Amino acid sequence: MNSDNTWSALRKDVYIYTDGGCHGNPGPGAWAALLRWQGQEKGFSGFDPQTTNNRMELMAAIHGLGQLKRPMTVHLYSDSQYVVKGMTSYIADWRCNNWQTAVKKKIKNLDLWQELDRLNQKHHVTWHWVRGHDGHLENEYVDGLVQKTIKTHLDKATSSSHVIL
């Protein structure tokens, strides 16, 4: 694996695959992303002890795009219609409506939508929706990474709560 400096040095298209999920909704959750370019791959994930599925889906895209150090052409794949439709159908209107819906309602997860919008404007991103749990290799990988991350953190919490002094 090359150093992180390699990510910003290459100007070829970057492919990002993302997923997020929770055990319970809300509940403990995780996000994961896989970045691929020129045959190189970098997978990573994060955990939140109390969150929602939608927040984790947004965090996956934010962290995936956040790895890129300079403007890139990106193909981002997500099984979340919430994220893909938000970025392709709604975000421009939300921005024009002072970050409110067309009926002047507050946008859920506004902090994350604004950060994702900032990153999206920095790059040339094409958003792709993929059906989850349908054999899409990269989506299955990031889904597995989400589940592993949640399990690892829950196992740590369980084992530390049973310590007898």
Residue 156's pLDDT is 83
Residue 133's pLDDT is 83
User: Mean pLDDT, to the nearest integer, of 95-117?
Assistant: 96
How confident is residue 124, by pLDDT bands cut at 50, 70 and 90? very high
Considering 79, 86, 138, 153, which one is annotated as catalytic?
Answer: 79
Known catalytic residue: 133?
yes
Residue 77's pLDDT is 99
Considering 46, 57, 63, 138, which one is annotated as catalytic?
Answer: 57
Tens-place pLDDT, residues 11-68: 589 999 999 999 999 999 999 999 998 889 999 999 999 999 999 999 999 999 999 9
Residue 8's pLDDT is 46
Known catalytic residue: 19?
yes
Considering 39, 133, 134, 162, which one is annotated as catalytic?
Answer: 133
- pTM above the 0.85 mark? yes
Burial category of 78 from C-beta neighbours within 10 Å (exposed 0-12, middle 13-18, buried 19 and up):
buried
Contact 59, 111 (CB under 8 A): no
Known catalytic residue: 43?
no
Residue 38's pLDDT is 84
Residue 157's pLDDT is 74
Tens-place pLDDT, residues 56-93: 999 999 999 999 999 999 999 999 999 999 999 999 99
User: Mean pLDDT, to the nearest integer, of 109-138?
Assistant: 96
Known catalytic residue: 155?
no
Considering 20, 21, 46, 86, which one is annotated as catalytic?
Answer: 20
Considering 63, 86, 138, 143, which one is annotated as catalytic?
Answer: 143
Domain residue spans of the chain: 4-85+124-155
CATH topology classification for 4-85+124-155:
Nucleotidyltransferase; domain 5 (3.30.420)
